[in-house]
Amino acid sequence: MEGVKILGEFFLSQVLGKVIMDKEGRVVGRLRDMAIRWDTLYPIVTGIKYAKDVQQHVSVDLIEQWDKKGLRLKSSLAASHLRPLCDDEIYVGKWLLDKQIIDLKGFKLVRVNDIKLAWIDRGNSQDIVLLAVDIGLRGLMRRIGLESLAKKRAQHLVGWQYIKPLETKTANLRLNLEQSQIKELHPADLADIIDDLDSIRRNQLLANLDNKTTAEALAEAELDTKIEIIANMDSTRASKILAEMPYDEAADILGELSDEKSNELLGHMAREKAQDVRELMKYPENTAGALMTTEFIAFPAEMTAEESIAKLRELAPSAETIYYLYVIDAKGVLKGVLSLRDLIVAPPQTPLESIMRTKVISVKDQDNYDIVLETVTKYNLLAVPVVNADQMLAGIITIDDVIDIMKPDRSGLNNFTDFMLRRKPGWRL
């Protein structure tokens, strides 16, 4: 704030409940809340609520002194000094304290634990303005009178210039550039925020995100969150979001919905995508087939390295992973595997069958999760192919999906750690 002098700074928690005295030093009330007007960069305090049950406040013009000890008025308190809340004012404690904002630096949903204020001198006038919100533990401890226990912790403040005005008095605070910056968050960070929001705030956030961003975030969110969002969303948009998601993720969500809702959403999707998702939904839970995705890259054995690279440029955007390339015969039977490195260093006219590895580690589509986990960890794989009873390549399971199946059960995570610690060296592409 250029051109102004700060006379003093304090937090809302430090003045709430403090006495309000008139010019003669008589106590006329206690500071219960503050009325503010938010039509400039920094909200300005316009009045002081002096009693719990009185829906009126004292105009800020009557205040002569204000610090952590309390307030002193310029004169005795009279009825003419009191006025009701105007349409363009809100009570800061009631409407802002304990509200949520998205911390774009920490990538998480946080709460306004306290509010920092300043008494400023503009030269021709003096004002009390709101400088920042405190979203850290220290602010919370200050609220309950235990800040001394958290003094070693740094202040975690968000300046008011980064906060946009409330759309309604009951809306949560949002950072000024939220909608443009939030799309830049990693999908996993955005998923954490979506998981923490209540359904109303969640819907408000998703309404301002494009389908691709929403799909990427939901793929990382908790299953219960995904189901609730898709089940209650407009069917047209829900189907578009599902179409942007990996097939296995879409199948997991649709498999938890009612048959009527699931068929409705599939009916809105492209036929080929819907058919692939339906195939995945047929697999029993806890099987490799239910965990796999059909978004993989497989080439015929007679294709050359040069032809494969050209085709790869075309197919890669829609594949789950291109760490491994699979080689199949005319019937779709898995014959070999090679790495991207193998493909790049091979002479252009070399057929894939000459550079592929024929000893392919795979799992069957009916194998359970334990077999999948042991296979991936034993051979140090980033992805494992899944074959059916006829050895036809049905899909792949990536390492991130393997880790995801262990998340709900803490003991499962311990088992996963044990596997990783005692795994034996194996071939790795």
The pairing of strands 70-73 and 19-21 is: parallel
| pLDDT value of residue 126 | 79
* Residue 301 near residue 356, CB atoms below 8 Å: yes
Please name every residue paired with 10 in a beta bridge, in sequence order, or none if there are none.
117
pTM value? Answer: 0.59
Using DSSP bridges, classify how beta strands 324-328 and 298-300 pair: parallel, antiparallel or unpaired. Answer: parallel
Domain 1-184, what fold? SH3 type barrels. (2.30.30)
The segment with the largest mean pLDDT, out of 61-70, 92-101, 221-230, is 221-230
Q: What pLDDT sits at residue 1?
A: 56
DSSP conformation letters of 181-220: HGGGS-HHHHHHHHHHS-HHHHHHHHHTS-HHHHHHHHTT
Split at pLDDT 50, 70, 90, the class of 408 is: very low
DSSP 93-142: HHHTTT-EEEETTTTEEEE--EEEEEEEE-SS-EEEEEEEEE-SHHHHHH
- pLDDT tens for 178-200 read 556 666 777 887 888 888 778 88
Question: Do the domains 1-184 and 291-422 sit in the same CATH topology, yes or no?
Answer: no
Closest CA to 202 of 188, 185, 186, 190: 190
Secondary structure class of 238 (helix, strand, coil): helix
422 pLDDT above the threshold of 70: no
pLDDT value of residue 264:
95
Helices (H) and strands (E) in the chain, counts: 19, 23
Q: How many C-beta neighbours within 10 Å does residue 165 have? A: 12
Could you tell me the CA-to-CA distances from 195 to 174, 198, 337, 400 in Å, in that order? 17, 8, 38, 19
In three-state secondary structure terms, 266 is: helix
The pLDDT, as a whole number, for residue 196 is 79
CATH number at 291-422:
3.10.580.10
User: What contacts 53, CB < 8 A, 6 or more positions away?
Assistant: none
Pairing type for strands 70-73 and 174-175 reads: unpaired
Which of 11-25, 188-202, 318-332, 403-417 comes out lowest in average pLDDT?
403-417
Sheet containing 27-30: which strands, arranged edge to edge?
27-30, 19-21, 70-73, 63-67
Domains of the chain by residue range? 1-184, 192-282, 291-422
Tell me the three state secondary structure of residue 408: coil
pLDDT for 177 beyond 50:
no
Looking at residue 390, its amino acid is D
Q: Angle, nearest 10°, between helix axes 247-254 and 223-232? A: 70
Q: What is the mean pLDDT of the chain?
A: 83
Output the CA torsion 166→170→175→176 (10° steps).
Answer: -20
**pLDDT higher than threshold 70 for residue 104:** no
Please give the CATH topology (third level) of the domain spanning 192-282.
MgtE N-terminal fold (1.25.60)
What are the two backbone dihedrals, phi and then psi, of residue 155, each rounded to the nearest 5 degrees? -65, 140
Among residues 259, 251, 354, the alpha carbon closest in space to that of 301 is found at 354
Report pLDDT for 269: 93
70, 56 contact by CB (below 8 A) = no
Query: Cα(64)–Cα(66) distance, rounded to whole angstroms?
Result: 7
The residue among 234 and 123 whose pLDDT is bigger is: 234
Cβ 387 vs Cβ 337: under 8 Å: no
Taking residues 265-288, report their average pLDDT. 93
**CA-derived radius of gyration, the chain:** 30
- Tokens 């001198």 correspond to what residue? 121
Burial (CB count <10 Å: 0-12, 13-18, 19+), residue 169:
exposed
| Percent of the chain at pLDDT exceeding 90 | 37
Checking phi first, is residue 333 left (phi over 0); if not, alpha (psi -120 to 50) or beta?
beta
Q: Answer whether residue 85 shows pLDDT above 50.
A: yes
